[in-house]
Amino acid sequence: MTQKHGKKYIAALAKVEAEKSYALTDAVTLVKEIDYANYDASVEVVFKLNVDTRQADQQLRGAVVLPNGTGKDKKVIVFAQGDKAKEAEAAGADVVGAADLVAQIQGGWLDFDTAIATPDMMAQVGRVARILGPKGLMPNPKTGTVTIDVTKAVSDAKGGQVTYRTDRDGNVAVPVGRVSFEEGKLAENIKTIAETILKARPAAVKGAYVEHASISSTVSPSVSLDLNAL
């Protein structure tokens, strides 16, 4: 079925030149201009990569701290015990626990945005892997959420860290802030993500690596980015 759009979306779409790839600052300006949400919508950048995600060495996954944050207050939980639990609490974690926290999640509680665990807790955390994994909440060393340094992990998560990973089609979608952000801050966040994705280029990739990139707000049409400018 063809998706039908409302008048506001169609009006916004009319302001975007379909075949044009915009310079980053121009794209950010346009996305802010055409956003019509009656709330402070999220802004997201999407990269279409020339990778074969069936190959383990061509799958991207990681985390990066955005210089200007995401505009969202994240609720962070930490699986830890003993001194590390005290360290997590001191760092500002919202909930800290061990077996009790695992049981809470098994009972259906998922009111958090990021889960961090010390390595010694992973055997217990594995009991809820089938719950956390599909929601992208499972602690993972690649995203810095399985670590001894819980202070840094909590600080990063609270301070604007975002995770990225390729989907089955080779797309990477990452939130980069809110429409209310200053244009320069949005652009700086997008540049940080772009640099991270470029540095993560798998050695096995031949030819063009980034095939397409675009940004959009929660409700707006997407605006294509000039890859050379990135």
Give domain limits for the chain: 20-69+161-224, 76-158
Strand pairing report for 210-217 and 223-224: antiparallel
Model pLDDT, residue 5: 75
Q: Do the first three CATH levels of 20-69+161-224 and 76-158 match, i.e. the same topology?
A: no
With a threshold of 0.85, does the pTM exceed it? no
Residue with tokens 């030149």: 17
At residue 18 the predicted structure's pLDDT band, cuts being 50, 70 and 90, is: confident
**pLDDT single digits (tens) 88-130:** 999 999 999 999 999 999 999 999 999 999 999 999 999 999 9
d(CA 227, CA 24): 9
Q: Which residues on adjacent β-strands are paired with residue 226?
A: none
Superfamily of domain 20-69+161-224: Ribosomal protein L1/L10, rRNA-binding domain (3.30.190.20)
Largest CA distance in the chain: 58
**pLDDT single digits (tens) 142-169:** 899 999 999 999 999 998 899 999 999 9
Using the CB atoms, write b or e for 1-38: b if 16+ within 10 Å.
eeeeeeeebeebeeebeeeebbebebbbbbbbebbeee
d(CA 21, CA 48): 14
At residue 230 the predicted structure's pLDDT band, cuts being 50, 70 and 90, is: confident
CATH code 3.30.230.10 for 76-158: no
Which region among 62-71, 77-86, 124-133 has the lowest average model confidence (pLDDT)?
Answer: 62-71
